[in-house]
Amino acid sequence: MEHHKPIGWYLKEADSLITSAFGNAFECFGLTRFHWQLLKNIADNGEIYTKDYYPQVARFITPETFQAIIATLQTRDWISVHNDTCRFTASGADVFAEIEERQKHVREKMLEGTDPEDYAHTILFLDKVIQNLRAFPQVQP
């Protein structure tokens, strides 16, 4: 396959389109991709500890944005926060199921025509690129 653009173009274009597609899917809930990620982590783990979770997203959102996301979800009574631990409320668990259905639909459309192996190989490839670049002190994040 001949590439006409550098890898960075494809990475940024894919990220931009992914963010837009999920933003559109979550718009009716007044949510962003980052709200979704926080909710998904709670669903996967039963709870999240904000001091452990924030470093995972710190590269993408500010502490203020992170706190605003949490505040929005608390105000809607979708999550409760006690001692920096976030959990679903009953209504939050219910609405998460609706949001997850929208996410699954977008993900299916996004991956249409690909094989699970394509996704796995892409992740492995990008992880290797990241590891290789981190090995050089001048490109450390």
pLDDT tens digits for range 113-136: 999 999 999 999 999 998 998 888
The whole-number pLDDT of residue 133 equals 87
Q: Is the pLDDT of residue 60 over 80?
A: yes
The whole-number pLDDT of residue 38 equals 96
- Rounded to the nearest 5 percent, the helix, strand and coil shares of the chain are 70, 5, 20
Could you tell me if 22 and 106 are in contact, meaning their C-beta atoms sit under 8 angstroms apart? yes
First to last CA, the chain: 31
**Per-residue confidence band for 2, with pLDDT thresholds at 50, 70 and 90:** low
Q: Is the pLDDT of residue 26 over 60?
A: yes
What is the set of domains in the chain, with CATH numbers?
7-135 (1.10.10.10)
pTM metric for this prediction: 0.80
d(CA 92, CA 74): 9
Mean pLDDT of 71-89: 97
d(CA 67, CA 54): 10
Instruction: Locate all alpha helices (DSSP H) within 46-89, ordered by sequence.
Output: 50-57, 63-75
